[in-house]
Each structure stands twice: as structure tokens, then as C-alpha cells.
Amino acid sequence: MANKRKTPAKSSPAPIRLDGIDWYSLYIYAVSLIAILICLFSLVALVRGVIDAAWPDPGYFDPYAPANQNTNGLTPDQIKQGYLDQNRRQAFKSIVTSAATLLVAAPLYLFHWRLAKRRRGEI
């Protein structure tokens, strides 16, 4: 008797199980949910950063404080401007961080959402 080799069948997507948990779909939807939440939170932080950059918090400065309390000979206007500049720098850092997070999370969400649609047979 000759040794017969079985040829492997073409790979097809894994069938959807109806009798239990479809772990692959659960993974796709979980990653999609997490990625969309990260996108939403980074958008909120991005808007807040833009608002803080446009209208920075002047900080607290007591103009009636004694002159020897860490002012280093600066005038009250210079100290106030220093607070404004510092808050504006922090706002720009926040904008960059939020934009970078959005640039990573948005494609991750889109990729997994397309996988989910393909799994459902919509594409």
C-alpha cells in the first residue's frame, strides 16, 4: 500500500462558536473598547491643553508678601509672567503628549474595529 499524503486544506477564518465564548472576538472587541476610550480621554486632554495654552492660569502670587521670600529681586510683574510662562509650557507639553497618544491609539482602534467588522461579515 502506498503512503498517501494529505494535502492541507486552505486556511479559512476560524468558525464562530455558538456553544461557548469566542475568545478571538472578545479580544478584538476588548482592544477596540480600550483604544476608543484612550482616544476619547486623549481628545479631552488635548482640548484642555489648547485652552490652557491660550489662557494660562496666572498662578497664585501674593504681591504683599515680604520682599525676602524667594523673589530673588524680581518685581511682582516678572514673577507673574514667570508663572504664566511656566503654565503655558506645561500646556504645550500636555498637547504633545495627548497628540502622541491619539496618534497611537486611533490606528490601533481602527485596525481592530475593521477586524471585528470582517469577523461579522460586514466587509
Is 116 a member of any domain? yes
Query: What CA dihedral angle connects 87, 91, 93 and 99, to 10 degrees?
Result: 180
Range of the domain at 38: 23-59+73-120
Is 66 a member of any domain? no
Residue type, 45: A
Confidence of residue 91 (pLDDT cuts 50, 70, 90): very high
Is 1 a member of any domain? no
For the chain, give the percent of residues with pLDDT over 70: 73
- Domain tally for the chain? 1
Is 45 a member of any domain? yes
Is 40 a member of any domain? yes
Over the stretch 6-52, which tens digit does the pLDDT of each residue have?
555 566 666 655 566 788 889 999 999 999 999 999 999 999 999 99
Is 105 a member of any domain? yes
Is 8 a member of any domain? no
d(CA 28, CA 114) in angstroms, rounded, equals: 9
Is 33 a member of any domain? yes
